Chains A and B, each alone.
Chain A
Amino acid sequence: MNLAKTFSKGIINENPLFRLMLGMCPALAITTSVENGIGMGMAFTAVLLASNVVVSLLRRIIPESIRIPCFIVVIASFVTITEMVMHAYAPALFESLGIFIPLIVVNCIILGRAEAFASKNGLVPSVMDALGMGLGYTLALVTVSAVREVLGAGTFLGIPIIGLIDNPALVMILPPGGFIALGCILALLNKMQQKKAQSN
């Protein structure tokens, strides 16, 4: 598999959220505004990139039998670092993402990529994999949060969309709205893929 493919597979064909159905919990919880979606996506990408790099570099010296605890220590450390840096330099974002930053530790995509990809591949492919997966997840979060913010708050990135939506449907930025938005987006994507498969 060439590098370009390693990078691009995370965006569409193996999109962590829309195709692999991983990392659903933050995707439902923090997607109340596009700003949150971007922030979470970036924090996630940073952790994934760092953990993929370290795991890939150490893949030959980590003993097979204790690889999972080693991965977890690496991931947890990077998550904590991300959390501290965000707290210090982006306090507003830190407040609104709340518990979901520390919970990146248990985001199955990161451990999944460490186990399934970085521990078996060299440094460069692992970096491409992390960037692709990170971008794919960020795009997915932004898509869900754009739908929710526009319909539920009548704004996009905090800027009011005047005239279009004066009385937004609050439910869309409440928890049920997360399920409704994610479900509808998934249904649409599946429909589009079916069409593509039929025409091929």
Chain B
Amino acid sequence: MRDVLKLGAFLLIVAGIAGLGLGYVNSLTAPVILAQEEENKISGFQEVYSQAEEIKDESAKYLPDGADGIVREVNVAYQKGTPAGVIYMVEPKGYGGEIQMLVAFDIATKEITAIKVLSNKETPGLGAKCGEEFFSERFQNKSAEGVLELVKQEPVGDNQVMAITAATITSKAVVEGVNTAREHFVSNFL
């Protein structure tokens, strides 16, 4: 019995020291990690919507049911105190998992300013190409008023976007993400 107590006490001390050490390291690294994530987010916002003076996360206001569906965040970009654009964070389901991406709209022109894939788990060399510029460029300046449609050949209509070769499922997911954000944008900001 005494043996058990002694061993238990020893383990407790070892775990205690380890815990203290971890706590100390965490107090050093946590602020760095937080600052970095914030910075990433802001630079991502600026990439998709450059003319904002201030960007506020207004998800609580525009997503009353919480992060329902695939829309995760609604960020409103202000210019001179009035909303000028909206940046959505959406997570449509791709081939290998969720694709986290930003979609930005301009309120005045009713167009998509840009999209940006933040992270994806798609197949390297295929679906993972959705993060590259050549694909996100295909969404630029598309009108927010019509539903976007995925096609396999060179697009003929204004609302058509060409899929990535041999990665139709990923392309579909990205288009679905943009369309969902678009719907929310049209019904809340136009």
Contact = CB atoms under 8 A, between A and B. Distances in A.
Interface of A: 32, 62-63, 65-66, 69-70, 73-74, 76-77, 80-81, 84-85, 87-89, 91, 95, 153, 168, 170, 173-174
A14 B117 CA distance: 44
Contacts of A69: 11
B43 interface: no
Nearest to A85: B29
A63 B29 contact: no
A106 B7 CA distance: 23
Contacts of A88: 28-29, 32-33, 36
A70 B16 CA distance: 12
B22 A77 contact: yes
B79 to A, nearest CB: 31
A66 B125 contact: no
Nearest to A32: B124
B18 interface: yes
B25 interface: yes
B124 A173 contact: yes
Contacts of A77: 18, 21-22
Nearest to A89: B32
A67 B14 CA distance: 11
B10 A63 contact: yes
Residue with the highest number of chain A CB atoms closer than 10 Å, among B11, B18, B21, B28: B18
Nearest to B24: A81
Interface string B21-55: 11001101110110010000000000000000000
A84 B124 contact: no
A174 B14 CA distance: 41
A73 B14 contact: yes
Contacts of A63: 6-7, 10
Nearest to B123: A174
A110 to B, nearest CB: 15
Contact of A174 (B18, B33, B124): B124
Nearest to B20: A77
A63 B4 CA distance: 11
A187 B14 CA distance: 44
18 contacts: A32-B124, A63-B7, A65-B7, A66-B7, A66-B11, A69-B11, A70-B11, A70-B14, A73-B18, A76-B18, A77-B22, A80-B25, A81-B22, A81-B25, A84-B25, A85-B29, A88-B28, A91-B36
